[in-house]
Amino acid sequence: MSDSILVTGGTGTLGRLVVGRLLETGADVRVLSRSPRPGTPYAPVRGDLTTGAGLERAVDGVSTVVHLASDFRRPKGDVEGTRRLTQAARAAGAGHLVFISIVGVDRHPYFYYRAKYEAERVVAASGLPYTILRTTQFHDFALFLAQSLARLPVVPVPAGWRMQPVDTSEVAERLVELASAAPAGRVPDMGGPEILPARDLVRAYLSAAGRRRPLVSVRVPGKTAAAFRQGVHLAPGHATGVRTFGEFLAGRVDPARLVSGYGAA
């Protein structure tokens, strides 16, 4: 690839991997940032999705935009930021926008998922040629969740909840493939290789970390919890991931330090 590619969220857990793989292909990579740092192997571009400042310059001459930026704490801001980005990219004549989303966002009542779906609709209605990839939760998030629960002497585990964690590096590889190809609309979902009960995820983490904790099942009330029990967020027909959660833990969890990509225990 020789054309310029703009990546939003390029310094996050997924974004760092996507940027690295794009650079390996020889792409001219720009990374949007509110506070660009010099000395990076990519071209940092100052811009802010929350205000729109700098977006016109960031997308100037860009052929493809890979939109990964997201803030769990401000999901509505994600929607407006996506709208600003698509408007700027269309005005600049970008030929492709690749957007990362989550399996089940069109059916799940969880507030963050609903915002993701709204952002999908913004992309689809933007007039830009686009590709949307929905994935299940990342291994990094499953680890963060297990660590958070295991901080208590007795670990509460949501009854009936399951996850299908997928490896972040595999998602990054898929996104680079999609960015290199023609716009394809919404492509098939991508899920991890196994669906695991929340109890098994926590047990796997505790074992890898060398910890012992009693587990107790807790039935969480509400529509959001019911959707997680129903597996709305799962993609059993698209278990295309290869690396299992156990394999991820073996290479990631240091019993002495208990390190995770989302925070330490």
Mean pLDDT, all residues of the chain: 93
CA 146 to mean position of chain CA atoms: 18
Query: How is residue 100 written in tokens?
Result: 């990362």
Whether the CB-CB separation of 159 and 219 falls below 8 Å is answered with yes
Query: How is residue 119 written in tokens?
Result: 């952002």
3-state SS, residue 81: helix
- Pick 142 or 264 by higher pLDDT: 142
What is residue 263's predicted lDDT score, i.e. its pLDDT? Answer: 35
Q: Predicted confidence band at 260 (pLDDT cuts at 50, 70, 90)?
A: very low
Q: What is the pLDDT of residues 36-78, one digit of tens each?
A: 887 788 989 999 999 999 999 999 999 999 999 998 888 888 9
3-state SS, residue 209: helix
How much of the chain exceeds pLDDT 90, in percent? 87
Query: How is residue 254 written in tokens?
Result: 């240091």
3-state SS, residue 77: helix
What is residue 254's predicted lDDT score, i.e. its pLDDT? Answer: 67
What is residue 257's predicted lDDT score, i.e. its pLDDT? Answer: 52
Residue whose C-alpha is closest to residue 202's, from 192, 221, 217, 191: 217
What is residue 71's predicted lDDT score, i.e. its pLDDT? Answer: 87
- HSE of 113 in the Cβ direction (CA atoms, 13 Å)? 19
Task: Give the amino acid at 254.
Answer: D
Rounded to whole angstroms, the Cα distance separating 170 from 87 reads 30
Q: What is the pLDDT of residues 157-184, one digit of tens each?
A: 999 999 999 999 999 999 999 999 999 9
Q: At what angle do helices 13-24 and 168-180 cross, to 10 degrees?
A: 50
Residue whose C-alpha is closest to residue 191's, from 246, 136, 113, 247: 136
Task: Write down all domains in the chain, each with its CATH number in brackets.
Answer: 4-136+168-186 (3.40.50.720)
DSSP class of residue 95 equals -
What is residue 48's predicted lDDT score, i.e. its pLDDT? Answer: 95
Query: How is residue 230 written in tokens?
Result: 């129903």
pTM: 0.92
What is residue 73's predicted lDDT score, i.e. its pLDDT? Answer: 85
Whether the CB-CB separation of 54 and 45 falls below 8 Å is answered with yes
Rounded mean pLDDT of 6-18?
Answer: 96
Q: What is the pLDDT of residues 85-140, one digit of tens each?
A: 999 999 999 999 999 999 999 999 999 999 999 999 999 999 999 999 999 999 99
Judging by DSSP bridges, how do beta strands 28-33 and 162-163 pair with one another?
Answer: unpaired
What is residue 259's predicted lDDT score, i.e. its pLDDT? Answer: 45
3-state SS, residue 189: coil
